[in-house]
Structure 1
């Protein structure tokens, strides 16, 4: 199986989880995802991560250990986005 791209991982997560904001960076072996979802509200971090793994399903079974993530609620995410003086819509994108 070919190594997934960061875009693949982002698509997999987006298919299984409604995200307000979703950014994935990676090189095919190690990925870092920033995931902002309203349904994380009130969940401890470990449950949030389980929810993301659930969204990924079997597709990432092999690579899942190479995924590190930051899981935030919109409320947790907004202050840091605003503090940087940039609106979420103007976030930086790596291609």
Structure 2
């Protein structure tokens, strides 16, 4: 399930934000022993021109908007690094 969710995260962010760089890492294994261990812990690093001139909080909101219902279904925790191109 987690690879399917990671793939869907990649797909949605690629469509919504046309990133130059996109990395999605399943970090569920790092949460062994915690509540919801192994269930939907992801780290996203994304670089997109869509973030140019956009404050960090709004960048995160753009990522959340692209993922929409996944945040309720397959994602328990999401770490985001969102940057414009340098």
| Structure 1 and Structure 2 fold alike (TM over 0.5) | yes
Is the aligned partner of 1:43 residue 2:61? no
Question: 3-state SS of the aligned residue for 1:13?
Answer: helix
Q: TM-score, normalised by structure 1?
A: 0.65
Bigger relative CO (Cα 8 Å, ≥ 6 apart): 2
Q: Partners of 2:78 and 2:43 in 1: how far apart?
A: 6
More strand by share: 2
SS of residue matched to 2:23: strand
In structure 1, C-alpha distance between the alignment counterparts of 2:72 and 2:19, rounded to whole Å: 21
TM-score computed with the length of structure 2 as normaliser: 0.71
Cα shift at 1:5: 3.3
37-46 or 7-16, larger mean C-alpha shift = 7-16
SS in 2 for 1:12: helix
- Indicate the SS of the match to 1:74: coil
Match of 2:68 in 1: 57
In structure 2, how many angstroms separate the alpha carbons of the residues matched to 1:15 and 1:74? 17
Segments of 5+ residues of structure 1 without an aligned counterpart are: 76-95
